[in-house]
Amino acid sequence: MQKKLLQLYPDYCEKISTQGLYLAQQLQQLGTTAAPFVYANFLSSLDGRIALEDANHGTYIPKRIKTASDFGLFMELQAQADCIITHGGYMRALAEGLLGNVLQVNDKDLVEWRRNNGLTPQPAVIIASASLNFPIHGSIQDAAQSVYIATGKNADPERIRYWQNLGYRLLFTGEERKVQGAPLIHALSGLGYKTIYLVAGPQMLDTMIREKQLSRLYLSMTHQLIAGQDFRTLLNAPMLGTEGNLKLEALYYEQDSPPGSGQFFMQFGLPRSGDTGT
């Protein structure tokens, strides 16, 4: 049964359904090819853990902070994307069976939604990598997704040749080995992508925010304190300035989810490069 949400901001509203909540935002209409709409989504505990680490599991998102409603909303964001940005580390984790595959839209209603809204059957996949050392997951070829590999100009020439010889298209979008946010989004907008979903971790989030390339951050925060000494959080980089000032756009509350607790679904706007700040 679909859980109901309370909308707490901007207006108070009861009995909002999680299903369709983010689809109704029509993100395609917020982006243009000149100024694409770039968005990210994270799931966190109240004490800021997005993942824990231990010797047995490696780095993993703890089961107890995951809910069906959060995953459903994640997929609604995925369904609206022209392209998703993932990275070499995720490709390696998929190959080792450490993480589940979220590279494709599989839900049949969402597949149909894409068709009805003029999108390609599946989003393109952009793989950011400084090492260029990862395998391509077979599901990308099976789903006939467009693929681009984004890296820095100083990436290992041998690895560059390796991918080029296999016919992959590379985007050189950083001065050193790493990708930088502004050149990456510029290159993707040049490819005609209007909605760009960042499905990556703290490092790519940092480069997007630092270079003012993120339009919106979705954050699901469960009302759980989970502790754990070795953990990942949203950002782990030098201190940010005003580019780290976010504005709340919407706040939803889901009760008893995870069971015995609850969660906020939050949506924040960020300053974009070129914004006048008004």
Q: Under the rule (CB under 6 A), what is the footprint of ligand NAP?
A: 42-43, 50-51, 59-61, 87-90, 128-131, 133-134, 178-179, 200-204, 207, 232
* CB 230 to ligand NAP: min, Å: 11
Element housing 252 (H / E): strand 247-255
* CB 71 to ligand NAP: min, Å: 11
d(CA 124, CA 103): 9
- The answer, yes or no, to whether the previous bond of 10 is cis (omega within 30 of 0) is yes
Q: Does residue 8 contact residue 16 with C-beta atoms inside 8 Å?
A: no
* CB 233 to ligand NAP: min, Å: 9
* CB 90 to ligand NAP: min, Å: 6
Query: DSSP assignment of 133-154, as one string?
Result: --PPPHHHHHTT--EEEEE-TT
Burial group, residue 97, by CB count within 10 angstroms (0-12, 13-18, 19+): exposed
Residue 119 vs 179, nearer CB to ligand NAP: 179
Alpha helices in the chain (DSSP H): 68-79, 88-95, 108-116, 138-142, 157-165, 181-190, 202-210
* CB 274 to ligand NAP: min, Å: 21
Question: Chain centroid to CA 27: how far?
Answer: 14
Using CA of residue 11, residue 12, residue 16, residue 18, what is the dihedral sign?
positive
Element housing 220 (H / E): strand 216-222
Residue 23 vs 130, nearer CB to ligand NAP: 130
Count of Cβ atoms closer than 10 Å to residue 149 Cβ? 26
Residue 33 vs 273, nearer CB to ligand NAP: 273
Residue 67 vs 129, nearer CB to ligand NAP: 129
* CB 57 to ligand NAP: min, Å: 9
Residue 23 vs 93, nearer CB to ligand NAP: 93
Residue 111 vs 177, nearer CB to ligand NAP: 177
